[in-house]
Amino acid sequence: MEFIQDLMTYSFLQKAFITSIMVGIICGVIGCFIVLRGMALMGDAISHAVLPGVAISYMLGINYFYGAVLTGVLTAFSIGAISQNSRIKNDSSIGIVFSAFFALGIILITQARSATDLTQILFGNVLSVRASDMWLTLIIGTVVIVVVILFFKELLVSSFDETMAAAYGLKTRMIHYSIMFLLTLVTVASLQTVGVILVVSLLITPASTAYLLTNRLSVMVILAAFFGALSSIVGLYFSFLYNMPSGPVIALATTALFILAFLFSPKQGVVITKIRTMSKRKAIAE
Amino acid sequence: MIDPITVEHISVSYDGDEVVKDVSFSFEPSSLIGVLGPNGAGKSTLMKAMLGLIHKDHGSVKIGSKTVDEMRKQIAYVPQRSNIDWNFPIVVKDTVLLGTYPKVGILRRPRKADKEWAMECLKQVGMEEFANRQIGELSGGQQQRVFLARALAQKADYFFLDEPFVGIDVTSEEIIINILRDLREAGKVIFVVHHDLSKVKNYFDKLVLINKELIDAGPVNQVFQSGNMTKAYNRQFMLDGLEVPM
């Protein structure tokens, strides 16, 4: 309760709160498409690969947004180029490209700024969110949500049956790269809150939790957004009260929700299905 | 107005290996066409190349005087069952509704009339009672019927089905072939990739027989004879044993 009072009082906490919720929502939403398209590794890759862009932006004194988007998109294209033009498999080309970008990013950042900055970017520090960061997150969030709502139909059909989508004339490759672009935007928006290394937990885990709970994509997207936002708030809470880095706390919160769904989901839950089989066996035996 | 479909000199290669070599044929409206050939003959590849889903080294497809790209909204494609993620969070009726997307168009939602039409297509394949099931909960034959319903929902004139009869039950098989026959009677052009030779004469009125190269294309009685089959399968065929009364 003290937390709510502080939330009313401190404007830095309000900014952190709004940013966290928005980041949780958009990570959950985009995460659904990443999970269903089997691109979880790609999410990890792009989030790591924005690092050199952030560093270059610092050096040039421009907003880190521009550099991060640039290297994020560059990564998506490099991975596509390697796996399409050689015998290297997709997961290997992801590994090759993102480790290179990440390594370059760490070197550039240690050259450009102090080690504290690096820790913040890697692990997130939601309490240091400035007004400009909050606005950037809100703008990116609005763009992402509007695009997903407008093109939900196309995202659904191309994620489910890409060949059918292409057969009736959808530009499936363009859809793929648009999702990569949105993913980059979401990653940039998440830098302050979860940090580069753990963005993937907010992308993959809430979406996977939602995946265990529903048979409809629209419901999955809404649930994932909710779980993402909830995890972010938990992260903020612990970060504020116990001075913990927000990224790891958020990651563990998403994991806790996942474990609950994994064990107790009405249809897929491990414990629930066990109980159901046992009672059925009992009924047959009697 | 349904136009004839003409394939001219299609060639496709993967990593320098030619898998479809210089295939040409043409079919009039009201055709139910079996695409036959041994394993690895390039049947699915030919179909995908016709639809422009994979890169052609050479060749063209014309529908009347138009290209496939200009006719996409008139084309319904049913993929092989093994190419679908059956755990995807989608229920049966929404799967059929996907068939209305091409005509609903971008930035618009399916309306009530579209949803009713999707249900009607689902009824045609006898799957309406499964409308709210997740697609992975169905049997193979039921899944195939749902995908056929999706194709029907597209209100297309040209149908392309990749191995629709693999691993399905007798009831589903009958329902599917009857619908395909109805489509033919309505003047549509239907291509079906198929490999079970025992039912060829019963199912199709026309055939494309390939083994990388075109062996023959045309009416079943012309194509489905020992000489051609021996050429395609590289072994002797006693087709009398395979005859099925019409």
Average of per-residue pLDDT across A63-75: 90
Residue that is written with structure tokens 């890759």 in the block: A45
Is the Cβ pair A157, B79 closer than 8 Å? no
CATH number (3.40.190.10, 3.10.20.90, 1.10.3720.10, 3.40.50.300) of B5-237 reads 3.40.50.300
Q: How far is A47 from chain B (nearest CA, A)?
A: 25
Is the Cβ pair B79, A161 closer than 8 Å? yes
A262/A208 Cα distance (integer angstroms): 10
Is the minimum CB–CB distance between B85 and chain A shorter than 8 Å? yes
At residue B14, what are phi and psi to the nearest 5 degrees? -110, 120
Give B50-99 pLDDT, tens digit per residue.
Answer: 999 999 999 999 999 999 999 999 999 999 999 999 999 999 999 999 99
In CATH, which superfamily holds the domain spanning A2-285? ABC transporter involved in vitamin B12 uptake, BtuC (1.10.3470.10)
Query: A66: helix, coil or strand?
Result: helix
Which sign, positive or negative, has the C-alpha torsion B184, B190, B196, B200?
Answer: positive
At residue B23, what are phi and psi to the nearest 5 degrees? -95, 130
Is the Cβ pair A168, B101 closer than 8 Å? yes
Type of residue found at A174 = M
Is the minimum CB–CB distance between A214 and chain B shorter than 8 Å? yes
**Residue A147: is its pLDDT beyond 90?**
yes
Residue that is written with structure tokens 């066409």 in the block: B33
Query: B51: helix, coil or strand?
Result: coil
Is the minimum CB–CB distance between A219 and chain B shorter than 8 Å? yes
- CB–CB contacts below 8 A, A to B: 72
Nearest to A45 by CA among A2, A7, A80: A80
Distances (CA, A) of B141 to A243, B173, B218: 58, 7, 29
B91/A151 Cα distance (integer angstroms): 20
Task: For residue B107, list chain A residues with Cβ-Cβ distance below 8 A.
Answer: 150-151
Is the minimum CB–CB distance between B103 and chain A shorter than 8 Å? no
Ranked by mean pLDDT, the top range of A151-155, A192-196, B232-236 is: A151-155
ipTM of the complex: 0.90
Is the minimum CB–CB distance between B44 and chain A shorter than 8 Å? no
Is the Cβ pair B90, A160 closer than 8 Å? yes
Type of residue found at B123 = K
The pLDDT, as a whole number, for residue A114 is 60
Query: Which candidate from B78, B101, B160 shows the least CB-CB separation from A157?
Result: B101
Specify whether the CB–CB gap between B142 and B127 falls below 8 A. yes
Is the minimum CB–CB distance between B73 and chain A shorter than 8 Å? yes
More confident residue, A60 or A230: A230
C-alpha dihedral (B99, B101, B103, B106), degrees to nearest 10 = -170
Q: How far is B197 from chain A (nearest CA, A)?
A: 27
Specify whether the CB–CB gap between A30 and A144 falls below 8 A. yes
Type of residue found at A238 = F
Q: Compare all CA atoms of chain A with the CA of B83 and give the residue at the minimum distance.
A: A161
Pair type for strands B158-162 and B75-78: parallel
Is the Cβ pair A169, B69 closer than 8 Å? yes
Is the Cβ pair A36, B85 closer than 8 Å? yes
Instruction: Say how many CA atoms lie within 13 Å of A213 toward its Cβ.
Output: 23
Query: Which candidate from B53, B89, B150 shows the least CB-CB separation from A166?
Result: B53
Q: Name the H helices within chain A.
A: 2-9, 11-36, 40-49, 51-60, 64-85, 90-112, 115-123, 131-150, 152-160, 162-167, 172-190, 199-211, 217-242, 246-264, 270-285
The residue of A84, A159, A160 whose CB has the most chain B CBs within 10 angstroms, and thus the best one to mutate to test that interface, is A160
- Tokens (6 digits) for A226: 């909710």
Q: Say what percent of chain B tops pLDDT 70.
A: 96
Q: What residues contact A48, with CB distance under 8 A and at least 6 apart? A: A98, A99, A101, A102, A105, A196, A197
Specify whether the CB–CB gap between A167 and B72 falls below 8 A. yes
Q: How far is A168 from chain B (nearest CA, A)?
A: 5
The pLDDT, as a whole number, for residue B85 is 95
The pLDDT, as a whole number, for residue B245 is 38
Which sign, positive or negative, has the C-alpha torsion B163, B164, B170, B174?
Answer: negative
The pLDDT, as a whole number, for residue B142 is 96
Q: How far is A150 from chain B (nearest CA, A)?
A: 6
B42/B49 Cα distance (integer angstroms): 10
Instruction: Say how many CA atoms lie within 13 Å of A50 toward its Cβ.
Output: 32
* Strand order, beta sheet including B31-36: B66-67, B58-63, B5-14, B17-27, B213-219, B206-211, B31-36, B189-193, B158-162, B75-78
CB count within 10 Å of CB A8 equals 9
Is the minimum CB–CB distance between A77 and chain B shorter than 8 Å? no
Is the minimum CB–CB distance between B101 and chain A shorter than 8 Å? yes
Mean pLDDT, 10 residues at a time, over chain B (246 residues)?
Answer: 93 89 96 93 94 93 94 94 94 97 92 96 96 96 97 97 94 96 97 90 94 94 90 72 44
Is the Cβ pair A167, B51 closer than 8 Å? yes
Is the minimum CB–CB distance between B84 and chain A shorter than 8 Å? yes
At residue A215, what are phi and psi to the nearest 5 degrees? -110, 15
Give A197-215 pLDDT, tens digit per residue.
Answer: 889 999 999 999 999 999 9
B36/B42 Cα distance (integer angstroms): 10
Nearest to A119 by CA among A191, A13, A49, A42: A191
Q: How far is B245 from chain A (nearest CA, A)?
A: 35
Task: For residue A157, list chain B residues with Cβ-Cβ distance below 8 A.
Answer: 98, 101
The pLDDT, as a whole number, for residue B165 is 95
Is the minimum CB–CB distance between B102 and chain A shorter than 8 Å? yes
Task: For residue B106, list chain A residues with Cβ-Cβ distance below 8 A.
Answer: 151, 153-154
Is the Cβ pair A169, B83 closer than 8 Å? no
A157/A175 Cα distance (integer angstroms): 11
Is the minimum CB–CB distance between A169 and chain B shorter than 8 Å? yes
Nearest to B95 by CA among B54, B132, B58: B132
More confident residue, A54 or A204: A204
Nearest to B191 by CA among B27, B33, B2: B33
